[in-house]
Amino acid sequence: LTLEQSRELLNAVDGPDKERDYCILTLFLNCGMRLSELVSINMSDVIHNNSTLRIVGKGSKERIVYLNDACLASIDAYVRVRPKDDLKDKNALFISNRGTRISPKTVQAMVNKYLTKIGLGGAGYSVHKLRHTAATLMYQYGNVDIRVLQDILGHENLGTTEIYTHTSSKQMEEAVNANPLSKMREKTDKNE
């Protein structure tokens, strides 16, 4: 998704579960986590005193992701309305309407609902595309180093991370122009 489409997606959230849905979309678009990582988040994984989130990724590998202001605000808004009674999994951050940990299928359906609402339904967009979007936005707009992005996404190999980083012509031009030698000219007899 482009930056504008990402904003549209977040602005499309409504309904009785809007705080939960907004929080889920915010975490996907800001932290680049996998679907399996999101549904496995426990309340205790959110560490407010240092604005971090413990994520258990592929192969049960743990990593810490820093939460920006948007993530913290959306988590706080959701936790205020999060169901507390008759929960089958009290540890789960995200709760379904049945009082259980939210399922991957429910999250996929919710994401597809909002993608369709903004005109992107069935166009190859999915939960995984939100992970891809987060990585691309951090890389293109935040000038995030690819190795830092690798750590955020929890990739073993840098090659995997490179797939997520689409460089634009403008970025390539800016990179070349940022070289300190970009203004250097060959000395000629006239310059001496």
CATH number, domain containing residue 27: 1.10.443.10
Domain assignment present for residue 49? The answer is yes
* 105 CB neighbour count, 10 Å cutoff: 10
Could you list the residue range(s) of the whole structural domain that residue 108 is in? 3-178
Residue 187 lies in a domain: no
Other beta carbons within 10 Å of 158? 11
Could you tell me what percent of the chain has a pLDDT over 70? 80
pLDDT of residue 104: 97
Q: Is residue 100 part of a domain?
A: yes
Residue 18 pLDDT exceeds 70: yes
Considering only residues 10 and 127, tell me which one the structure prediction assigns the higher pLDDT.
Answer: 10
Domains in the chain: how many in total? 1
**Rounded mean pLDDT, 85-92:** 93
In a domain, 184, yes or no: no
Verdict on whether the full-model pTM lies above 0.85: no
- The DSSP bridge partners found for residue 62 are 56
CB half-sphere exposure, 141, CA atoms < 13 A: 10
Residue where the block lists tokens 């359906």: 109
For 48, the enclosing helix (H) or strand (E) is: none
Tell me how crowded residue 83 is: count the other CB atoms within 10 A of its CB. Answer: 12
- What are all long-range contacts of 167-175, with beta carbons under 8 Å and residues at least 24 apart? 167/139, 167/140, 168/140, 171/140
pLDDT in tens, 122-142: 778 888 888 888 877 777 777
Task: List, in sequence order, every beta strand (DSSP E) within 2-132.
Answer: 46-47, 52-56, 62-66
pLDDT at 167 over 70: no
- Over residues 26-72, the pLDDT tens digits come to 999 888 888 999 999 999 999 988 898 998 877 788 888 888 899 99
- Catalytic positions, please? 34, 58, 128, 131, 155, 164
Supply the mean pLDDT for the chain.
84
Task: Indicate the burial class of 188 (C-beta count within 10 angstroms; 0-12, 13-18, 19 or more).
Answer: exposed
Length, in residues, of the chain: 192
More confident site: 143 or 172: 143
Predicted confidence at residue 183, as pLDDT, reads 76
